[in-house]
Structure 1
Amino acid sequence: MSEPKNLVDQNYWDESYRDIDFYIGNNSLTDWLYRNYFNQRNLQNKTVFEVGCYPGTYLVHFGKQNMEVNGIDLTTNMINLNKWLVEQKIKVNKIINDDFFQLNDHVKYDVVCSFGFIEHFKNYEEVILKHSSILNENGTLIMTTPNFRGFGQYILHRLFDKPNLKRHNLNAMNPDKWAKLLEDNGFKIIHKGYFGHYDMWFDSDVTGYKILLKEKFLKHIHPRLKKYVKSDSSFFSPFCGVIAEKQ
């Protein structure tokens, strides 16, 4: 592939992850994984490779399916991630502290996944195909991103989280485009779409009048949206994803 066109400097990730605690994820994304993948497969002794695996929030769930886990991330502290996964009684093979785009060991895996990775690149289509290049024949590709492109999510991030919005390629948050690209490259789409109850997170601070506006939103509007907005909405759901099998 050509040089990755990254929207985020690595220093941002290192700083963001500096004091993070390892934990087992439990949210709309993990619900989606169990509903559409884990509960339907016998994955014992299969291999999985997560692109951008730190801090292991989702990789640990694959390990709990008795899979052999592998992953790669440029972020420092990968040694501690390896240690934590072992403490969770996960079968760990390789946790690599390196650049995914320099990976060239010719090993292929039964499952390749990423959760919030491809949307940080302008040339996201090439990034997707790089994922597929390390996948076994008949293997499964699983990818998700935030749904900042959805109208409701976009407006709120534009108002209260604009610097973070700029770190994401909104054009990459489109599971229909991923599906078309994958089908053109010999994949069968198992599942695609938007998922999760409405939720919202902000990675940026606001200033001026937006401080009060954000406080009012979080106090009065946010709880009502969580209560009344339907799940799996392209407008408001926090995530979108695809599960595809390589033919």
Structure 2
Amino acid sequence: MENLLTDRAFWVNYWEQKPDLSVNIPANYMFHEQLASIIKREKVKTAIELGGFPGYYAVFLKKYFNLDVTLLDYFVHQPITSKLLQKNGLEEKDIRILETDLFKYTPEQQYDLVLSFGLIEHFNDTADIIERHINFVRPGGTLFITLPNFRALNGWFQKRFDPDNYDKHNIDCMDPRLLARICEEAGLEVLQSRYFGNFSLWLHDEEQKPLALRLLKRTLWLAGKILTKVFPFNSRQLSPYIILEAKKT
């Protein structure tokens, strides 16, 4: 339990506060270019999204690439996932769902592609959580992990104006060199480990924040977008995400 920065109660509360989660997933969903490239290059047939409730990327992979997809999370509210599938023209049989504790579950199979989006930063032991991902990757398969970069301006904003949310994240793991080293020591070939995205800024439960804070966030967001539109670049200071791609030999 000391490895966890969140618990089940946190996630139940987190998802219950969200508005309608049943959205239509577009073809240009975040990281779509990276995923399309991996799927085409590696001829991916099977994939598992870890910690992915309500299953946006599982739906994306099934909807646009017709992969054999599994979603694993230790909190799954089936009605939400069912509605999400319906919204995207899919049926419940199209995605296998495993509601289980990743730290107690032994993989029954391995996959061509193992993904997580915003998961590993909620644990103190980064090497351990990545190793648990690797356990699902078949030999020759690909590991693809993304996480927020709270060492950027967005992180300062979170720490200054939403410290409770900021404290639920392991800031030390937000280092592409660290992530690459962990994978290399586990025997994987690192294809990329880098900052991603020109600029973004967000607030957890923004609609519940004071108006002045929302206006400040909007002002900084616009300024950052204009700057990186004129001078587009990925950097530790501004990029909102980190992506890691590695191959199991």
1:65 aligns with 2:84: no
Residue type at the aligned position of 1:188: E
Question: Residues 105, 12 of structure 1: CA spacing in aligned structure 2 closer, same or farther, 3 A cutoff?
Answer: same
Match for 1:237: what amino acid? S
Give 1:12's match in structure 2, choosing from 10, 13, 25: 10
Aligned partner of 1:222 in structure 2 is: 221
Q: Are the structure 2 counterparts of residues 234 and 184 from structure 1 closer, same or farther at C-alpha, using a change threshold of 3 Å?
A: same
Alpha-carbon separation, structure 1, partners of 2:201 and 2:218 = 13
Residues 1:39 and 2:37 aligned together: yes
Deviating above 6 A after TM superposition, structure 1's stretches of 4 or more consecutive aligned residues are none
| C-alpha displacement of 1:127 | 0.5
- Secondary structure at the residue paired with 2:97? strand
Q: Taking every aligned residue pair, what percent have the same amino acid on both sides?
A: 26
Contact 2:193 2:243 in 1 (8 A): yes
Give the conservation status (yes or no) of the 8 Å contact 1:36–1:191.
no
Residue 65 of structure 2 aligns to a residue in which SS?
coil
Residue type at the aligned position of 1:218: K
What displacement does 1:196 show?
Answer: 1.5
Preserved CA contact (<8 Å) 2:53 2:76: no
Matched, 1:183 2:184: yes
One-letter amino acid matched to 1:202? L
Aligned to 1:115: 117
Pick closer, same or farther for the CA change 1:24–1:180 going to 2, 3 Å: farther
Aligned equivalents of 1:204, 1:85: Cα separation in 2: 24
Q: Which amino acid aligns with 1:183?
A: E
Query: What aligned pairs does 1:185-204 form with structure 2 within 5 A after superposition?
Result: 185-203=186-204
Give the deviation of 1:22 after TM superposition: 2.4
Q: Helix, strand or coil for the counterpart of 2:9?
A: helix
The alignment partner of 1:17 has SS state of: helix
- 1:164-223 CA-to-partner distances (Å, cap 9, x unmatched) read 000000011122211111112221122221111311111267x9xx95762452353331
Instruction: Kindly report the root-mean-square deviation, in angstroms, between the aligned alpha carbons of the 2 structures.
Output: 2.8
- Offset, 1:39: 3.4
CA 24–184 in structure 1, closer or farther in 2 if over 3 Å, else same = farther
**SS at structure 2 position matched to 1:233:** coil
Give the TM-score normalised by structure 1: 0.85
Unmatched tracts of structure 1, length 5 or more? none
Please give the residue correspondences for 1:64-83 in structure 2 after superposition, counting only pairs within 5 Å.
64-78=64-78, 80-82=80-82
* Residues 89, 211 of structure 1: alpha-carbon distance in 2 compared, 3 angstrom cutoff: closer
SS at match of 1:101: coil
Mark the CA change 1:204 to 1:161 in structure 2 (over 3 Å): closer, same or farther: farther
For 2:52, the equivalent position in structure 1 comes to 53
| Count of residues in Structure 1 that have an aligned counterpart in Structure 2 | 240
Task: Provide the rounded CA distance (Å) in 2 between the counterparts of 1:51 and 1:136.
Answer: 15
Render the CA deviation track for 1:66-116: whole Å, top value 9, x for unaligned. Answer: 211101112241354156336533773520111111111431111111000
Matched residues in 2 for 1:11 and 1:40: separation? 35
Pair 95,76 (structure 1): closer, same or farther in 2 beyond 3 Å = closer
Q: Against the structure 1 CA distance between its residues 84 and 122, is the aligned structure 2 distance closer, same or farther, given a 3 Å change threshold?
A: same
Aligned counterparts of 1:75 and 1:134: Cα–Cα separation in 2 = 19
Distance, in Å, in 2 between the alignment partners of 1:45 and 1:242 is 17
Question: Which string of whole-angstrom CA distances, capped at 9 and with x for unpartnered residues, describes residues 36-58 of structure 1?
Answer: 33135337671101111201122
